[in-house]
C-alpha cells in the first residue's frame, strides 16, 4: 500500500491505496492518517490523478470526482457511501433522508455511523450530511472544515482557515 500527501486550503491531505485505486482520503492531522504514514510507503506520484482532482475541487474547477475507489466496509456501509456520492455538489441532505432513500427510515443511527466511518473524505462527500434541524453535525475533519467545505461548494466565501 502507498500514500501521497496533497496540500489543500484546509491542511495537508493523505491519499492512500494501492495500484492507483484510492482506499482512503484523510486530513493529515487525523489519527487514522498518522497510522497510514507509519504503515504504508510514501509515493507522491502514485495518486497523481486523485491529487489533481482534489486540487481542482479546491480551486472551484471540479464538482464531481472521477477516480477509482475501493471503500471496503460492510454492504450497508457501501450503500450509504454510494448514496453520499449521489448528493449533488453544493447541496446537503439529512441522515433521515438518506435512511429513507435507502429503504429504511428507521435506520437513521446506522446511516450516521456509516457516514462517520467513510474512509474517503471529500471525494465521498460525507460533509454534505447535516442534522434534521439544519445544524452541522459531526465530521471527522472537524466542524470548521465541514463548514468551510459547504461554504466553498455553495460559492460563498469560506471562512479563513
Triad 157, 160, 161: Cα angle to 5°: 130
76 closest CA partner among 49, 103, 38, 41: 103
Nearest to 57, CA basis, from 98, 4, 93, 7:
7
94 strand-pairing partners: 130
**Tell me, what DSSP letter sits at residue 126?**
G
Grid coordinates given for 4: 501521497
126 is catalytic: yes
- From the candidates 54, 120, 126, 150, give the one annotated as an active-site residue: 126
Catalytic residues, which ones? 126
Amino acid at each position: 500500500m502507498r500514500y501521497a500527501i496533497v496540500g489543500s486550503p484546509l491542511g495537508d491531505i493523505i491519499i492512500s491505496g494501492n495500484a492507483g485505486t484510492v482506499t482512503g482520503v484523510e486530513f493529515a492531522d487525523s489519527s487514522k492518517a498518522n497510522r497510514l504514514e507509519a504503515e504504508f510507503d510514501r509515493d507522491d506520484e502514485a495518486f497523481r490523478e486523485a491529487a489533481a482532482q482534489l486540487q481542482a475541487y479546491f480551486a472551484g474547477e471540479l464538482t464531481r470526482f472521477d477516480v477509482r475507489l475501493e471503500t471496503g466496509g460492510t454492504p450497508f456501509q457501501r450503500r450509504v457511501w454510494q448514496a453520499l456520492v449521489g448528493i449533488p455538489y453544493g447541496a446537503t441532505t439529512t441522515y433521515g433522508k438518506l435512511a429513507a432513500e435507502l429503504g429504511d427510515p428507521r435506520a437513521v443511527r446506522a446511516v450516521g455511523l456509516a457516514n462517520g466511518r467513510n474512509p474517503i473524505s471529500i471525494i465521498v462527500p460525507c460533509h454534505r450530511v447535516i442534522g434534521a434541524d439544519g445544524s452541522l453535525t459531526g465530521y471527522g475533519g472537524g466542524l470548521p472544515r465541514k463548514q468551510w467545505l459547504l461554504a466553498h461548494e455553495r460559492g460563498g466565501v469560506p471562512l479563513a482557515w
